[in-house]
């Protein structure tokens, strides 16, 4: 049997006899070293929502972190959250690292971010690994999602909004801002032409409020580049 045929058979026919989920002892990413030798863009994203910095190894992973950072539904997220280890009867071992784990209240999402879904389809062994991770996640009560950047991320209004909002995520929000923000946001949503003085608020304050989960914004609606109010 050729090496390639053996690889395909192993990926499609074997079922693990043992599965382990290994997390970091400090509750952070299981992998923290960004690999720079493979020629891909890498970097660090500092999250206000999670109060820590996360490594990213692909542009699309960073973009999905932007969305998660400003999405009100997401209470927290973690990059490289754990390692899944699959052990087979023939002595083989398979390892899988999810890209992101998101918590939406009591709901948990396990996220794999790819440029296109074809990336997975091209590699039978990798596709089998994803299928195993999906099955294990389901048994844990987690939702496993594959995010395709070309269809699920880049064309969305959520991504367009996140590109703007994440720039101001560290803006300080004062006590007066907490009074102004609800009225200001209501005026945008209702497209009011004249609003009260309490509605005067900088866009940066609104952006920071979204990130800190103090205020919500419909992800499907366009977030304005500037906030302009008529004060009476």
DSSP code at position 151: I
Task: Kindly report, residue by residue over 85-135, the tens digit of the pLDDT.
Answer: 999 998 999 999 999 999 999 999 999 999 998 888 888 888 999 999 999
| Residue 159 in tokens | 């991504």
**187 is a domain residue:** yes
Range of the domain at 188: 167-211
**102 is a domain residue:** yes
- Asked whether residue 112 falls in the same domain as residue 186, the answer is no
pLDDT value of residue 15: 86
Residues 6+ apart with CB under 8 A from 207: 70, 164, 165, 166, 167, 168, 169, 171
Tell whether the model's pLDDT for residue 219 goes beyond 80.
no
| Residue 129 in tokens | 């690994």
- Asked whether residue 173 falls in the same domain as residue 203, the answer is yes
**62 is a domain residue:** yes
> What's the CATH number where 18 sits?
3.40.1350.10
Count Cβ atoms within 10 A of the Cβ of residue 63 and give its class: 0-12 exposed, 13-18 middle, 19 or more buried: buried
- Asked whether residue 100 falls in the same domain as residue 201, the answer is no
- Given CA atoms 95, 97, 98, 99 in this order, what sign does their dihedral have? negative
* Lowest-confidence region among 9-13, 80-84, 169-173, 198-202: 198-202
**174 is a domain residue:** yes
Per the structure, the count of domains in the chain is: 2
**49 is a domain residue:** yes
- Asked whether residue 79 falls in the same domain as residue 181, the answer is no
């Amino acid at each position: 049997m050729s090496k390639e045929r053996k690889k395909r058979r192993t990926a499609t026919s074997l079922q693990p006899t043992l599965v382990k989920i290994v997390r970091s002892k400090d509750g952070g990413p299981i992998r923290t070293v960004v690999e720079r030798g493979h020629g891909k863009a890498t970097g660090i994203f500092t999250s206000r929502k999670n109060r820590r910095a996360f490594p990213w190894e692909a542009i699309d992973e960073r973009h999905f972190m932007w969305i998660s950072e400003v999405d009100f539904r997401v209470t927290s997220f973690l990059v490289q959250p754990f390692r899944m280890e699959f052990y087979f009867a023939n002595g083989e071992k398979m390892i899988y690292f999810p890209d992101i784990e998101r918590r939406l209240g009591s709901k948990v999402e396990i996220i794999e971010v790819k440029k296109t879904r074809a990336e997975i389809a091209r590699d039978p062994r990798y596709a089998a690994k994803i299928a195993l991770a999906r099955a294990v996640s389901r048994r844990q009560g987690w939702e496993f999602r594959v995010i395709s950047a070309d269809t699920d991320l880049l064309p969305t209004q959520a991504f367009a909004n996140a590109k703007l909002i994440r720039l101001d995520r560290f803006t300080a929000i004062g006590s007066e801002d907490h009074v102004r923000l609800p009225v200001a946001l209501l005026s945008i949503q209702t497209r009011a032409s004249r609003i009260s003085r309490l509605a005067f608020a900088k866009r940066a304050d609104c952006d920071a409020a979204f990130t800190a989960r103090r205020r919500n914004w419909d992800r499907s609606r366009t977030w304005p580049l500037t906030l302009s109010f008529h004060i009476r």
